[in-house]
């Protein structure tokens, strides 16, 4: 068998797996022989069908709820063995002018995107320590690097993930648990529907608008992010630690 660099023995837990980037990551890892567990809020027909198609298991839970994450991880390990790879991809986004942003919605964004990653890593870490190694990839956003009008909560939560990734990378690398992140630019996913509604245009129009500011002259595809995540999870690459891989068509080139 060709060595793909991915862990094909222990479980790979992928959050926000139902569509978009999460679905692309699932398909990429499954094709490489990884045993995937697919997390989303609920075990929808779409998630179950994807699991069947990719020979994966379904692991529904609201990642912002620590008790639910604990139960999900515990059941997953009891039934399928230790978790060796974690991909934190689940996210929630709304857009509104700063003074109009509802406080409860602010915390929903932060608790899903930032606290959700905290919950997942804390619950999965003992399993990785039992293996003596692990890979964690956290999906941030280039909006977490640059900020974005009308997306204060989302950008702030994703900026928090950048520091989270860097700090965890330094703390866990001595144990062979490698933490990195990826900051997608504008990607053609259902999440663009939020942007389109905020701008009062169609999804096709918002993609065209965003493309004009991108040197590559197009928005990215979920499969491109999946390739980046697979690269960061490659067990043959152990000295890349706390890095934020930027996949954005050249729009953002700052060091983070």
Residues carrying an active site annotation: 154
Report DSSP state, residue 9: S
CA distances, 97 to each of 101, 150, 199 (Å): 6, 5, 12
b/e map of 205-230 (b: 16 or more CB within 10 Å)? ebbeebeeebeeeebbebebbbebbb
d(CA 95, CA 197): 9
CB count within 10 Å of CB 33 equals 15
CA distances, 244 to each of 8, 122, 150 (Å): 24, 20, 24
Which residue bears the tokens 């709304």? 94
Question: Measured on CA atoms in the order 177, 160, 41, 25, is the torsion positive or negative?
Answer: negative
CB within 8 Å of 232: residues ≥ 6 apart: 135, 137, 180, 181, 182, 240, 243, 245
d(CA 111, CA 104): 10
């Amino acid at each position: 068998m060709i060595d793909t660099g991915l862990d094909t023995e222990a479980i790979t837990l992928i959050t926000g797996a139902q569509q978009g980037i999460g679905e692309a990551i699932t398909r990429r890892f499954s094709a490489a022989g990884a045993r995937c567990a697919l997390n989303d809020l609920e075990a929808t027909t779409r998630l179950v069908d994807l699991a069947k198609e990719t020979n994966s298991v379904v692991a529904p839970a609201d990642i912002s709820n620590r008790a639910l994450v604990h139960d999900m991880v515990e059941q997953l390990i009891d039934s399928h063995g230790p978790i060796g790879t974690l991909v934190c991809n689940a996210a929630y986004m709304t857009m509104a002018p700063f003074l109009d942003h509802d406080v409860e919605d602010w915390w929903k964004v932060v608790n899903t995107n930032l606290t959700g990653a905290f919950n997942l890593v804390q619950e999965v870490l003992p399993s990785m320590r039992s293996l003596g190694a692990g890979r964690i990839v956290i999906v941030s956003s280039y909006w977490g690097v640059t900020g974005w009008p009308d997306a204060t909560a989302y950008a702030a939560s994703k900026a928090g993930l950048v520091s989270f990734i860097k700090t965890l990378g330094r703390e866990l690398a001595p144990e062979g648990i490698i933490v990195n992140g990826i900051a997608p630019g504008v990607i053609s996913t259902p999440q663009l529907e939020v942007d389109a509604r905020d701008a009062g245009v169609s999804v096709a129009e918002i993609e065209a608008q965003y493309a004009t500011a991108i040197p590559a002259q197009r928005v990215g595809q979920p499969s491109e992010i999946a390739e980046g995540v697979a690269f960061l999870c490659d067990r043959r690459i152990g000295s890349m630690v706390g890095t934020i891989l930027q996949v954005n068509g050249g729009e953002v080139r700052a060091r983070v």
